[in-house]
Amino acid sequence: MSDQRLVLAYSGGLDTSVAIRWLAEQKGYEVIACAVDVGQAEKGEMDRVRQRAMDCGAADAVVVDARTEFAEDFVSSAIAANALYMGKYPLVSALSRPLITRHLVRAARETGAQVIAHGCTGKGNDQVRFELTAMAIAPDLKVEAPIREWGLSRDAAIAWAGERSIPIPVKKDSPYSIDENLWGRTAECGILEDPWASPPEEVYARSVPAEQAPDTPEELTLTFEQGRPVAIDGDKHDLAELIAEVDRRAGAHGVGRIDMIEDRLVGIKSREVYECPGAMTILRAHRDLEDLCLEQELAQEKRGLEGRYAQLIYNGLWFTPLKRALDAFIAESQQVVDGEVRVRLYKGSASVAGRRSPVGLYDHDLATYDEADQFDQTQAEGFVKLWGLPTKVWARRQGQR
Ligand code: ARG
């Protein structure tokens, strides 16, 4: 056990690169950098990230390929819950932070470290997610937040690194703060801080502008088993692969761009630009299939809970009793969400063109207006009378006032 050994969540970017050195120099820590691949990295990139951590002065650096774990343990729950914060944001960063923290804790346990650290500022949600996850799964560990504590501007950080010849990531200088994973991409800062200004095209990386999308629509059939997408056009994929493939196909049609004003937990309204072609396509299809398969009382209750569930995730409450209880409810609801959805991708939209299910509750003979009609309309008269009885009583006594 060592209280001078620390595991830092390392992204390879400027902030966490200087944080390695700062933690060592100012606080005397032996820093172990932990870089988690949640689908943001191109092939070979994580090796470079690991080397960069060592070059910045880490005592050791570990790289974790967590793409499958991210898809299975985190994104799949978000799909089942149709989770969209403020009805819009599919929780890209919010989903990854509990997972990254889980790996920091694992690395701490393996190396005997008693401290973990993140590179978040004090103005965002990510600090909350890291620290609440740590409190929930490893309340004995101490958390350091070097960037929040240090409060350096970007230019000052570059100068500080220059004085010490710390190899600053040689990425092309971008005014944007980007976070990325399998479920989507987030962009903040620069001109985006003017909520009236249109996001420049250079902000986007996973989609074409709708006006440049192909003139012919493309159809994609998604198969779901118990609420989980398992195949595209009949071909089975594991979840991480399936998401990446839908992302690619939907992005080529300009699907999934989101420009919104967001309520951060720390009280700030911020302008956020997201790019989530795969997420928005899968969520649209999943929700539609639920409309076919879920009995209406259950469906209504679930819709009411979905916003709350998204809010819990957004607010860093992944590992909490309420989240767990809601998971049990959602898992029960998903037992019958089996079937296929045809999604039409065209000029920036993913719309449902058809759906079917072996356990769907659509009954043609009840719905039809043709001869096959099995619905006994004579019973409707009495039903309407009783349904309207309270309204009628009220109208007679009080409604005229
Ligand atoms: N506003 C989004 C959220 O709170 C995105 C955060 C992106 N994080 C980052 N470090 N750039 O989930």
What pLDDT, in 10s, does the model give residues 156-169?
888 998 999 888 77
The per-residue pLDDT for 400 is 82
Q: Residue 63, SS3?
A: strand
* Residues 325-351, mean pLDDT to the nearest whole number: 98
The per-residue pLDDT for 174 is 79
The per-residue pLDDT for 175 is 86
Residue with CA at minimum distance from ligand 1 atom 2: 93
Q: At what angle do helices 296-314 and 92-111 cross, to 10 degrees?
A: 60
The per-residue pLDDT for 172 is 57
Distance 300 CA to ligand 1 centre (A): 30
Residue from 11, 123, 186, 263 to probe ligand 1 pocket by mutation (most atoms less than 8 Å from CB) = 186
CA distances from 65 to 36, 42, 51, 108, 230 (A): 6, 12, 16, 17, 21
Model confidence at 252, pLDDT cuts 50, 70, 90, reads very high
Q: How do residues 183-227 score in pLDDT, each as one tens digit?
A: 999 999 999 999 999 999 999 999 999 999 999 999 999 999 999
The per-residue pLDDT for 153 is 83
Tokens, residue 126:
């990510």
Distance 209 CA to ligand 1 centre (A): 23
* Residues 278-287, mean pLDDT to the nearest whole number: 99
The per-residue pLDDT for 79 is 99
Query: What number of H helices and E strands is found in the chain?
Result: 15, 14
What CA–CA distance (Å, rounded) separates 82 from 329?
Answer: 14
The per-residue pLDDT for 39 is 95
Instruction: Kindly report the average pLDDT of the chain as a whole number.
Output: 96
pTM above 0.85, yes or no: yes
The per-residue pLDDT for 1 is 66
Residue from 179, 273, 315 to probe ligand 1 pocket by mutation (most atoms less than 8 Å from CB) = 179
What CA–CA distance (Å, rounded) separates 108 from 121?
Answer: 22
Distance 200 CA to ligand 1 centre (A): 19
The per-residue pLDDT for 142 is 98
Within 245-321, strands assigned E span 257-263, 269-275
Cβ(27)–Cβ(136) below 8 Å: no
Model confidence at 57, pLDDT cuts 50, 70, 90, reads very high
Q: Does position 68 have pLDDT exceeding 80, yes or no?
A: yes
* Residues 379-398, mean pLDDT to the nearest whole number: 97
Distance 85 CA to ligand 1 centre (A): 12
What CA–CA distance (Å, rounded) separates 82 from 78?
Answer: 6
Question: Which atom of ligand 1 is found nearest the CA of 177?
Answer: 11
Residue from 93, 258, 269, 273 to probe ligand 1 pocket by mutation (most atoms less than 8 Å from CB) = 93
* Residues 382-387, mean pLDDT to the nearest whole number: 98
Cβ(169)–Cβ(52) below 8 Å: yes
Residues recognised as catalytic = 15, 97, 126, 177
Q: Does position 171 have pLDDT exceeding 70, yes or no?
A: no
Question: Which atom of ligand 1 is found nearest the CA of 264?
Answer: 4
